[in-house]
Amino acid sequence: MQDPVGNMIVDIGGGTCEVAVISLGGIVVSKSLRVAGDKLNDDIVKYARDEFKLLLGEKTAEDIKLAVGSAYELGEKLTAVMRGRDLINGLPKEMIVNDREIREALSRSVKILVNAIKTTVELTPPELVADIMERGIVLSGGGSLLRGLDKMVAEETQMPVRVAEDPLTAVVRGCGVVLEDIDRLSEVLVSPQYREAPR
């Protein structure tokens, strides 16, 4: 990240998605949005309510997302049992859902994520785009584990895309690297305007 080459990272956490192009230890272009893992769960809750009159809990929606969620059509058909409360009679109810239905539920939010990545690429200086085309886009965070998201981003951006090694802990491990070499990396941590305390 300290080299004079462009690197693109997309961190899809629970509450936010951060898209950034980094070069020479600084952020060249970035975009932040509140569409991430929690929003995908909300999409599943809304889909269950609207399509099946079924009230789901947050944990159930997360479990469904992990079991059958995808951004891109899969080669295999996946199904899962969705359990909640019937909104008509208040009694427990279960439905079987498949990957196609959940992909449909997630499609709007996934499109927003992909468009944020495309917009960031469009705003990136051409010489750094060339670097990213060679090095690829790196996805991290729990949201990067959504099946087929890497394939969809690659198709939409026409760039190679890979999921970071152990994407759930990538940000924490990066913070650890910075802390181990805080003296050398302190310049990239704080914007120059904030280095001195206000008087």
Q: List the end-to-end C-alpha distance of the chain, in Å, as a whole number.
A: 33
* Gap between the Cα atoms of 170 and 121, Å rounded: 22
Domains in the chain and their CATH numbers? 7-35+111-168 (3.30.420.40), 37-106 (3.90.640.10)
pTM, two decimal places: 0.86
Q: What is the pLDDT of residues 68-117, one digit of tens each?
A: 999 999 889 999 999 999 999 999 999 999 999 999 999 999 999 999 99
Instruction: Give all strands of the β-sheet with 7-12 in edge-to-edge order.
Output: 26-33, 17-23, 7-12, 137-140, 161-163
